Structure formats: C-alpha cells, structure tokens
A and B are shown apart, each in its own frame.
Chain A
Amino acid sequence: GNSVTQMEGPVTLSEEAFLTINCTYTATGYPSLFWYVQYPGEGLQLLLKATKADDKGSNKGFEATYRKETTSFHLEKGSVQVSDSAVYFCALNVMNTGFQKLVFGTGTRLLVSP
C-alpha cells in the first residue's frame, strides 16, 4: 500500500541551527511528494513539493529532494528561526483508480528556541 513515515518529534533546536526532518515513503506508481506546515491553531499550508525523481522543492529557505532510490523526501533548512516552530507533515499524492489522494505522515513538531 501507500504510506509515509516521518521521524517522531518533537524536534527541539536553537535558533540558527540546521534542521533535518526525515521522511520515507512506500508507494505504487510514481507519486508526487509534498511538505505541508501547520502553525498553531491553523490549517495546513503547502511548504514545497516535488513531482518527479531528483526534483528539488524549495520555499522560505526549506528544501527537499525527491530520492527515488532511497524512497525519501527529507526536509532541510540551514538556519531555523523561532517563527519556524510548527508541525511539519510529509505527504505523497497518488492517483488511486484515477482519483487524486493525499497520504500523510503523522507529523513532526519543531520547537525553535531563541
């Protein structure tokens, strides 16, 4: 089946530290991959995406590369800020019998302290 596995949180970092949040997936076919972010009390916002192998998605200093050989889509940022504190969800988008369907990981909470 289709599934996404994320590292458990919370991830606690100091401001300006390097961030990695691991994400691996299992999928049939050729999924598109996404990172969504959820700030406290809000819905999910798209952070970045990649639609084919070796694509790199990037936004707001965050990056992730679609690695088909390792079935991974790890999220990285070189220098985190307090404002990056949120829950991050990795997701894959498969076409299930012709219908678009997002499958999410369980989310990783990031806490950044000054």
Chain B
Amino acid sequence: DVKVTQSSRYLVKRTGEKVFLECVQDMDHENMFWYRQDPGLGLRLIYFSYDVKMKEKGDIPEGYSVSREKKERFSLILESASTNQTSMYLCASSLDRVSGNTIYFGEGSWLTVV
C-alpha cells in the first residue's frame, strides 16, 4: 500500500514563527501536493511538485512556500505564520501525470496559530 506520512499531526505555533510541515511518500511517486482543508471550503491546493526541485503554485499559494530536495519528501513552509493559517494541512502524492491516477493522502496536520 502507498503510504504518505506527515511528520506532525498537531502543532501549535505563535504568530510570526516559521513553520515547517514535512511529508514523505514511499512509492516513488513523481507528483506531490499540499492542500489545506477548512470547514465549508473543502480542500484547496496550495502548491504541487511534479519532480525534484520543481514546484508549481496552486490556487492559494500566498503566505506559503515549498521545498522538494528529494523525490520522496515535500515540505510546506510558512515563513511567518498568521492566525488565518490555522487549518488542517493535507499532503498527497500520485504516480505521474496521467489524469486517472489516484491521488493518495496523508492523515493530515492540524496547525493552530495563536
């Protein structure tokens, strides 16, 4: 089975702190994604990556950056956390760029910014 592992399930950070959310997948997938999930808004794509050192903006990239130095690892960075970034963050991966490929999700990271 594909496993997407998010290193932190629950985090509490202060406004202005730099926050790293780490994600690792074990199936040699090319594509990796970061979404945030908010009540009433569903899931919204922040950034995605289709190869090492490559990244593309999603629908809501403002206030976030990403890093993909190795194929299996995709990090989401909040340079200066703000309270409106309190949310659940979901990492995902998929094999390649075929439309019908399944996207696999991690269990999520709950981030609270105080």
Contact = CB atoms under 8 A, between A and B. Distances in A.
Interface of A: 30-32, 34, 36, 42-46, 49, 51, 89, 93-95, 98-102, 104-107
Interface residues of B, number: 28
A99 B48 contact: yes
Q: Is the interface of A mostly helix, strand, loop or mixed?
A: strand
A43 B106 contact: yes
A105 B50 CA distance: 23
B103 A102 contact: yes
A51 B105 contact: no
B50 A99 contact: yes
Contacts of B99: 30-32, 51, 93-95, 100
Contact of B56 (A44, A89, A99, A106): A99
Interface stretch (B35-43, B67-75, B79-87): B35-43
Interface of B: 4, 31, 33, 40-45, 48, 50, 56, 58, 90, 92, 94, 97-108
Contacts of B4: 43
A16 B40 CA distance: 28
A30 B100 CA distance: 10
Contact of B48 (A43, A101, A104, A106): A101
Given A42-B108, A43-B106, A43-B107, A100 B43 contact: no
Contact of A49 (B41, B98, B100): B100
12 contacts: A30-B99, A44-B43, A46-B104, A49-B102, A94-B99, A95-B97, A99-B31, A99-B50, A101-B45, A101-B48, A101-B58, A104-B44
A104 B43 contact: yes
Given A93-B99, A99-B48, A106 B94 contact: no
B102 A106 contact: no
Nearest to A94: B99
Contacts of A89: 42-43
